[in-house]
Amino acid sequence: MTAALAAALLLSQPAAPASCTVSVDRLSDCVQVTLDIEGTPQGLISFDFDPACETMELLSATVARPGEPGEPLPAWAVDTLTGTDGSPLSLVVAVPPGCTASLRLSSRMFDRLSRTAPSMVLAPPVPGASMTVLADDREGTLRWEGEGYSASRQGTRTRLVSSAPAGQLALSWMGTWSDLYSALSVEADSILAEGDPLASREAAIEAGAAGADPSAQLARLRTIFCNSMRFLHPQASGLLFPVRSVEQILGSRTATPLEAAVAFTSVCRRLGMSAGLVFVSGGRWSIPIAGAWNRVLLEVQAGGRSYLLEPSAVLSPAFYVRESSGARMLDGDHPFPRPVPAQPQASFTESWEITGDGRFALSARGTGACDCEIRGKLAGLDESRLAVVLSTWSWRSGFTLEVDSVWTSDLYDLGVPAAFGASGRLPPLEGGYALLPQLVWNTPCEGGFARTWRLPRGSSAGGGLRVDGPDGAVVLADTASRPGRILARLGGPS
């Protein structure tokens, strides 16, 4: 929906703002959007669409030079480009230099949600343009949201007008949030009502091997899913497309996020746990916009506790929900969306032990998003590749390491915290001095940093970081994400 009307315009010179008129009609089998653009300046304008659930057609196009009558857009100036790796198609229009264009396009959204949960977000296809929207409101149920728009009635339509530059405009014909949840979950509920197949029982037996503790079973089940399934991520996380049976999902070892949640729910039932679908949105809209609720989680009740899991989240701790800050979740037990519970704050620890002859041993681990960063960087690599990645990481942090060996925890076991370590040598410096190494992490670590360097007896360093260890070793500790370059004089070999 949004993608069909969102466009990127590359201009070679500034031009007067264009104006756009958008007509939205709810038909029996689809939602049709007709877009008229006047005064499109020279450059490229592209309209993305997903052919699996929508069409895009250029109905007419004329171009004109200043002071001259308009003429049809040349055939060479219109093309449909195919994306790669499942990306949408793009209808691309090239406006010749020195011209402006008048375009008329039609888009039809025929996916399930366009019919059962009609809602959309419109954006001006040309940056800086004004926008007038005529939205079907025969039943008087339309709700809208957008800054800078004014509304009036025009027959059976609501007329929404924004002066340039127009911002995003959300339209929804949904009745209540419960109606939206029902529309999002109806296919999943239908599949789950068929019962739990034998494949669910087999997965439950394997997860149950973790023991009687529900958290251990759920962590084991998350690990099984992420290690044995290939997740598909079509538009809107697969919410637009039919949900296959649990047997087909587990048998094919492929799933959309919604299908993964359905199969996970089936296995949880076999384990005697209660699980319900939860849809998550990071969007700002306060009205029900189906396309904004494009993530699927599960809320599982077991052992007197509630667990929130994302079955399709690979290389993420079992009970951690990424990008949860400011996100809301919608379930079948609450009439309105509620905030996603706060997740463990990201933190990391680095422990460096350095000998007098310049050898080092590193041990590191992370929590929250830092845990995800470790898994994303290191999972699936053999030792030689791990050494290259760690050396590159150190080099990008401003330090050079000669890495001899690297170890990691089982980064595919989502129930075990991610950790790694390495040994090797620091580059030699004259006079027994060395720059103390550190790693710069990409993840903002709200939970704090803990970095220590353990140096042999008799070592010294500036910065006021010295702590004498019980065995006479010198321990330097710091909590800054980037503590700067610290020069230390190393004592004798240890």
Predicted pLDDT at 164: 79
The residue among 196 and 481 whose pLDDT is bigger is 196
Residue 328 bridge partners (DSSP): 281, 339
Residue 151 has pLDDT above 90, yes or no: yes
254-255/230-231 β-pairing? parallel
Compute the CA torsion angle 47, 52, 313, 281 (nearest 10 deg): 60
Range with top average pLDDT, 39-43, 244-248, 482-486? 244-248
Closest to 138 in 3D by CA, of 34, 25, 31, 32? 25
Pick the CATH number of 2-172 from 1.20.1250.20, 1.10.10.10, 1.10.3720.10, 2.60.40.3140: 2.60.40.3140
CA atoms within 13 A on the CB side of 114: 22
pLDDT in tens, 160-190: 999 878 899 999 999 899 999 999 999 999 9
Q: How many residues does the chain have?
A: 494
Percent of the chain residues past pLDDT 90, beyond the cut = 46
Residue 71 bridge partners (DSSP): 63
Give the three-state DSSP class for 199.
helix
Predicted pLDDT at 493: 52
Closest to 308 in 3D by CA, of 294, 322, 293? 322
Give the three-state DSSP class for 388.
helix
- pTM of the complete model: 0.84
Give the three-state DSSP class for 221.
helix
Q: Is 76 exposed, middle or buried (0-12, 13-18, 19+ CB in 10 A)?
A: exposed
DSSP 8-state symbol, 337: -
Binned at pLDDT 50, 70 and 90, residue 84 comes out as very low
The residue among 272 and 9 whose pLDDT is bigger is 272
**Considering the domain 177-339 in this protein, what is its CATH number?**
3.10.620.30
Residue 471 has pLDDT above 80, yes or no: no
The predicted model gives 222-231 an average pLDDT of: 90
Q: Where are the domains of the chain?
A: 2-172, 177-339, 347-489
Instruction: Compute the distance between CA of residue 272 and CA of residue 162 in angstroms, rounded to an integer.
Output: 54
Instruction: Compute the distance between CA of residue 136 and CA of residue 153 in angstroms, rounded to an integer.
Output: 11
Question: What Å distances lie between residue 283 and 75, 170, 183, 294, 323, CA to CA?
Answer: 39, 11, 18, 10, 12
pLDDT in tens, 417-435: 999 999 999 987 777 788 8
Residue 449 bridge partners (DSSP): 348
Predicted pLDDT at 201: 79
DSSP string, 56-109: EEEEEEEEE-TTS--EEPPGGGEEEE--STTPPEEEEEEEPTT-EEEEEEEEEE
Predicted pLDDT at 90: 85
- Annotate 243-276 with three-state secondary structure: CCCHHHHHHHCEECHHHHHHHHHHHHHHCCCEEE
DSSP 3-state percent helix, strand, coil across the chain (nearest 5):
20, 35, 40
Residue tagged 């007067």 (tokens): 16
The residue among 102 and 448 whose pLDDT is bigger is 102
pLDDT in tens, 293-332: 989 999 999 989 999 999 999 999 999 998 888 899 999 9
Residue 86 has pLDDT above 60, yes or no: no
Percent of the chain residues past pLDDT 70, beyond the cut = 88
Residue 12 has pLDDT above 50, yes or no: no
Predicted pLDDT at 479: 60
Predicted pLDDT at 49: 84
The span from the first CA to the last CA of the chain, in angstroms, equals: 65
Mean pLDDT of the chain: 85
Binned at pLDDT 50, 70 and 90, residue 14 comes out as very low
Give the three-state DSSP class for 154.
strand
- Reading phi first (left if > 0) and then psi (alpha if -120 to 50, else beta), residue 211 is in left
The helix (run of H) or strand (run of E) holding residue 185 is helix 177-192
Binned at pLDDT 50, 70 and 90, residue 410 comes out as very high
The residue among 445 and 398 whose pLDDT is bigger is 398
The predicted model gives 275-287 an average pLDDT of: 93
Sign of CA dihedral 84, 88, 91, 97: negative
Are 119 and 170 spatial neighbours (Cβ–Cβ below 8 Å)?
yes
